[in-house]
Structure 1
């Protein structure tokens, strides 16, 4: 199977740029990391479920950094490729549903006869 992206190289480059951003605006990075820690501190969802949700959100927001980080975390949490695929299927269906719903908004805005 051919790779679409070299995720290890992407991860290394993103980490370097993250260090640069931290040097330029440490309070921003500190706040972002605090938000991530807060979201990871749950009482009702296990780590694998959180990561599967994160992957579904990552593809709907088109965030490569999120995909990279949460695939790695999902693997550590024990998520299989099959479980990831099912979570991605939910996200794909919701994106299609959102497009369908907004198509109705367009027809509504266009007015009817």
Structure 2
């Protein structure tokens, strides 16, 4: 399954869950907004932190969403590589495998639509 398809499928699952537990979903959304919008770090810097954590926690859907968000912030593939290297340094072999997922997702999302 492509990364684009995985992102689309996960969004559908999240929408269904949000309907089931709207208050919890809204509270999480509020937390996410405050975490991103408040403080001295840029959204791009915060997304890189989130991606590093997603890699270390081995959460492929999180990796996909944060790679997508990074692309919207104007992040570069070279910056991504730096974050992947730090994630691997901190997380060892398992992080290496999930860092490869992050790069694969980036490369697929960077391709022009066919």
- TM class by shorter-chain length? 0.7 to 0.9
Give runs of aligned pairs for residues 95-106 of structure 1, distance below 5 A: 95-96=91-92
Give the CA RMSD over aligned residues.
1.3
Q: Give the paired residue count.
A: 92
- 1:43 Cα deviation after fit: 2.6
User: What's the TM-score once normalised by structure 1's chain length?
Assistant: 0.74
Pick from 87, 90, 96: which aligns with 1:94? 90
Q: How far apart in 2 are the matches of 1:46 and 1:23?
A: 31
Correspondent of 1:19 among 15, 19, 42: 15
Within 5 Å, give how 1:24-43 maps onto structure 2. Answer: 24-43=20-39
TM score, norm. by length of structure 2: 0.74
Structure index of larger Rg? 1
Runs of 4+ aligned residues of structure 1 deviating over 2 Å after TM superposition are none
The SS at the match of 1:44 is: coil
Higher RCO (CA-CA < 8 Å; seq separation 6+): 2
